[in-house]
Amino acid sequence: MATKKIELVVSPPAPHMVGDGFRVHNFIPGGYHLDMERMSPFIMMDYNSKHYFSPTTQARGVGVHPHRGFETVTLAYQGKIAHHDSAGNSGVIAQGDVQWMTAASGILHKEYHEEEFSKAGGDFQMVQLWVNLPAKYKMTPPKYQGIANADINKVTLPNNAGIVEVIAGEYHGTKGSASTFTPVHMQNAKLNEGGKVKFSFPANYNTVILVIEGEVKVNNEETVGTDKLVLFENEGEDFSIEATEDAIVLVLSGEPIDEPIAAHGPFVMNTQQEIIQAFNDVNMGKFGYLE
Amino acid sequence: MLENFKNFLQTNTDITDVQFEQIGMGLKCEKVEKGKLLLKENQVCTHSFFVETGLLRAYTLDENGKEHIIQFAPEKWIISDRSSAYFDAPSQLYIDVIEDAEIIYLEKDFVSKISEISPSFRMENERLLHNHIRHLQTRINLLISASAEKRYMHFIELYPDLLLRVPLWMIASYLGITPESLSRVRKELARRNFKPNSK
């Protein structure tokens, strides 16, 4: 097996606000060489690097908006997020939890800082990903997988190196807690200083890591600091991450979905006609209703 | 920049790329940020705004300070106060930016100037004017006679993506209904059209 070499190390782009609750760096698709086609099935990545929100009685967040054609995955590293949707689901994700929402044929939802967190204020850090769906699943019914940290399968690494949380896919025989429509690996490597972990994914899978905390050395050569993203080449399978200080690294690798992408705002479909249809359907109430 | 303006000019005319270059040379373009006021009531403003990207709106303020939205102008729309832009009279409208925008300033004589380069634009401008008047005619009729739902249905046909771009209170203002009535209309449409798990 050959080494998967680093193609790019990307610093976080300038942040912008999504609503008034999420201060995010858009790595995908806005980042250099990180467009949707290159990164498929990961077609969007907003990273809210650690940011202090002051106490408020008016919960910050994003108001009602639709999605169609893909899945949204929210990983909370610090802080708590509450959500509601037009299918009647609601819940809270707290530190370490993951919410995997399959928007598919369409959903309206809103996301806010959870009430108690808002009142107390505090550090907020999260990642939101959009994972594309192949054409045959784009118009299937929406669904939720709320995955509490306690329910995420974990692999303890040898030599007190740390743990790997297997959110999706597989790590050394341990399966991910989330079900996916196409092969997707999504894992958190939580490493102790000096701890080392090796990953192996097929060469053609699009693969990135994001350093959430600390500093790491990738493939024994490149030192990568907090908030930086590493894109790997589509050659070779194996790479290593060594923590030069206590670190948390989000590892993503997925099989590209080889289909045309038509994306506009909150919709990601295969054709422009389907995008127009999505706007019509939202306007006509076909995504339901949410205050 | 100017792709939308080029597309706008070439759609129903025989304006060539070379002629467009010539037109483009005299144009004033500007990037404007959300919130910027481009025209105030009682100002005289001798140009119209073509929206290359982004979103503008025109509105009036009543004696109680309440806004009434006359028009939204997304990409490829022209927006102006015609009493000001064409008759040198004080403007009745405010025009501001509701999404960061790139705009082109069209001077009062832009039709003549473009028509000098390509006479086909005069016919097109006439068609656009009649189209604009047709929309105003429909809008007057809807405002004096139609139900909230009918007004909403016309709005989403005219502006298919604005529901996702502007706050609902602005849409209610444009429709001349309360935000509560707009909610009722949308809730009722969802009740009739939302079929969970069978889309």
A86-117 pLDDT tens trace:
988 899 999 999 999 999 999 999 999 999 99
Chain A closest CA to B155's CA: distance in Å? 10
Residue ranges per structural domain of chain A:
6-254
CA distance A103 to A267: 10
Give the distance from residue A99's alpha carbon to the nearest chain B alpha carbon, in angstroms.
20
CB A77, CB A41: distance < 8 Å: no
User: What ipTM is given for this predicted complex?
Assistant: 0.89
**pLDDT digit string (tens) for A154-196?**
999 999 999 999 999 999 999 999 999 999 999 999 999 999 9
CA nearest to B194 within chain A: A286
Nearest to B93 by CA among B137, B130, B139, B56: B56
User: How far apart, in whole angstroms, are the C-alpha atoms of residue B155 and residue B134?
Assistant: 15
A6-254 — its CATH code? Answer: 2.60.120.10
Residue-averaged pLDDT of chain A: 96
Alpha-carbon distance of A192 to A24, in angstroms, equals 27
Nearest by CB: A280 against B160, B186, B198: B160
pLDDT score of B197: 62
Average pLDDT over residues A225-233: 98
Could you tell me the pTM of the whole model?
Answer: 0.92
For B29-41, the pLDDT digits (tens) are 999 999 999 999 9
Q: Do B164 and A265 touch (CB under 8 A)?
A: yes
Burial of B12 (0-12, 13-18, 19+ CB in 10 A): middle
- How far apart CA A47 and CA A248 sit, in angstroms, is 14
Separation of alpha carbons B103 and B106, rounded Å = 9
Instruction: Name chain B contacts of A105, Cβ cutoff 8 Å.
Output: 199
Domains of chain B: 3-118 (2.60.120.10)
CA distance B186 to A291: 10
* Residue appearing with tokens 């894992």: A187
Give chain B's mean pLDDT.
Answer: 94
CB B98 within 8 A of CB B166: yes
Contact B56, B38 (CB under 8 A): yes
- Section B8-13 average pLDDT: 92
Residue recorded with tokens 């909230």 = B148
Query: Which residue, among B75, B69, B84, B55, has the nearest Cα to B1 in the 3D structure?
Result: B75
> For the residues A17-24, what does the mean pLDDT come to?
95
Dump pLDDT digits (tens) for B187-197. 999 999 998 76
Rounded distance between C-alpha atoms, residue A249 and residue A48, angstroms:
14
**Are the Cβ atoms of B164 and A105 closer than 8 angstroms?**
no
Residue with tokens 């073509």: B50
Specify burial of residue A126 (Cβ count, 10 A radius: 0-12, 13-18, 19+).
buried
Nearest CA in chain A to B163: A283
Mean pLDDT, range B58-78, rounded to an integer: 96
Residues of A within 8 A of B188 (CB-CB) are 285
* Amino acid making up residue A113: H
pLDDT of B130-182, one tens digit each? 999 999 999 999 999 999 999 999 999 999 999 999 999 999 999 999 999 99
- Report pLDDT for B199: 42
Does residue A41 have a cis bond before it (omega within 30 degrees)?
yes
